[in-house]
Chain A
Amino acid sequence: MAGIGVAGLLLPASSMVLPIGLPDLPFHLRLDALSAFFMVLLGGAAFGITVYACGYFRNMAAGPLALLALWYHLFLAGMVTVLLADDAYAFMVAWEVMALSSYFLVTTDHKIPEIRRAGFLYLLIAHIGAVSLLLTFGVLQGGHGDYTFNTMRLSEMTPFWSSAAFLLALFGFGAKAGLVPIHVWLPEAHPAAPSPVSALMSGVMLKTAIYGLLRVTFDLLKMQLGWWGTLALALGLVTALYGVIFAAVQSDMKRLLAWSSIENIGVIIAAFGLTLIFHTDGKGALAALTLTALLYHTLNHAFFKGLLFVGTGSVLHATGERRMGRLGGLIRTMPWTAWLTLIGALAIAGLPPLNGFVSEWLLLQAFLLTPGLTQPYLNMVIPVAAATVALAAALAAYVMVKFYGVIFLGQPRDPALQHAHEASWPERLGMLWLAGACILLGLFPTLVIQWLEPVVLMLTGQRLSGISNWLLLTPVSAERASYAPLIFLAGVTAVVALTYLWVRRVYHGRVRRSEPWDCGYPEQNTRMQDSAEGFGQPIRQIFEVFMRVERETPDPFDRHPHYRGDSRDKLWLLIYQPIADLTAWLSMQAARLQHGRIQWYLIYSFVTLIFLLVFTR
Chain B
Amino acid sequence: MSAGILLQVAQTLLAILLAPLLMGWVNQCRAWLQGRSAPPITQPYRSLRKLFHKDAVIAHTASPLFRFAPYMKFACMALAAGIVPTIANDLSFSPAADVIALVGIFALARVFLALAAMDIGTPFGTLGARRDMLVSFLAEPALLMVFFTASLISQSTELPIIVATLAHKAFAIHPSLAFAAVAFWMISVAENARIPVDNPSTHLELTMIHEAMILEYSARHLALIEWAGALKLFTYSALGIALFLPWGIALQGDIAALPLALAAIVAKLAVGGAALSFMEVVSAKVRLFRVPEFLGTAFLLAVLGMLIHFLLEG
Contact = CB atoms under 8 A, between A and B. Distances in A.
Contacts of A526: 121
Interface stretch (B24-32, B36-44, B154-162, B272-280): B154-162
B299 A352 contact: no
A383 B105 contact: no
A533 to B, nearest CB: 11
Contacts of A398: 133-134, 136-137
A483 B121 contact: no
B65 to A, nearest CB: 7
A410 B180 CA distance: 39
Nearest to A390: B141
Interface in B252-304: 289, 292, 299, 302-303
B65 A507 contact: no
A484 B111 contact: no
Given A379-B310, A409-B121, A516-B216, A350 B148 contact: no
A599 interface: no
A496 B108 CA distance: 14
B58 A513 contact: yes
B126 A394 contact: no
B158 A479 contact: yes
A271 to B, nearest CB: 16
A499 B75 contact: yes
A506 B55 CA distance: 14
A365 B157 contact: yes
Given A398-B134, A409-B119, A519 B215 contact: yes
Contacts of B292: 538, 542
B78 interface: yes
Contacts of B71: 496, 499-500
Contacts, number: 254
Interface in A531-565: 534-535, 537-539, 541-542
Given A368-B157, A510-B56, A512-B56, A496 B72 contact: yes
A192 interface: no
A433 interface: no
A528 interface: yes
Contact of A507 (B53, B118, B124, B134): B53
Contact of A351 (B82, B107, B158, B289): B107
What secondary structure prevails in chain A residues at the interface with B? helix
A538 B126 CA distance: 13
A511 interface: yes
Contact of B121 (A357, A411, A503): A411
B309 to A, nearest CB: 8
Interface string B54-92: 011111110101000001101110110010000000000
A519 to B, nearest CB: 6
A535 B303 contact: no
Contact of B152 (A371, A404, A542): A371
A361 B147 CA distance: 13
A352 B118 contact: no
Interface in B120-164: 120-127, 129-131, 133-134, 136-138, 140-141, 144-145, 148, 151-152, 155-158, 161
Contact of A384 (B97, B161, B303): B303
Contacts of B59: 513-517
Contact of B148 (A349, A386, A402, A492): A386
A462 interface: no
A127 interface: no
Contacts of B155: 480
A144 B77 CA distance: 64
A493 B261 CA distance: 31
Contacts of A397: 107, 110-111, 133, 136-137, 140
B145 A484 contact: no
A164 interface: no
Contacts of B105: 352
Nearest to A392: B141
B314 A379 contact: yes
A10 interface: no
A604 to B, nearest CB: 62
A530 B127 contact: yes
Interface string A480-523: 11111001100110011001100100111011111111110000
A511 to B, nearest CB: 5
B18 interface: no
B224 interface: yes
A66 interface: no
Given A368-B157, A482-B95, A511-B58, A518 B74 contact: no
Interface stretch (A179-187, A325-333, A570-578): A325-333
Contacts of A519: 124, 203, 205, 215
A240 B115 CA distance: 24
A496 B68 CA distance: 9
B124 A495 contact: no
A188 B244 CA distance: 49
Contact of A350 (B57, B104, B145, B306): B104
B307 interface: yes
Please provide the 4 A-B residue pairs with the shortest distance between their CB atoms, ordered closest to farther: A410-B121, A411-B121, A390-B141, A405-B118
25 contacts: A350-B104, A352-B97, A352-B105, A357-B101, A368-B148, A380-B311, A384-B303, A386-B148, A394-B140, A397-B107, A397-B110, A405-B115, A479-B161, A480-B158, A481-B158, A495-B78, A499-B74, A507-B53, A513-B58, A515-B60, A516-B122, A517-B59, A519-B124, A519-B205, A541-B289
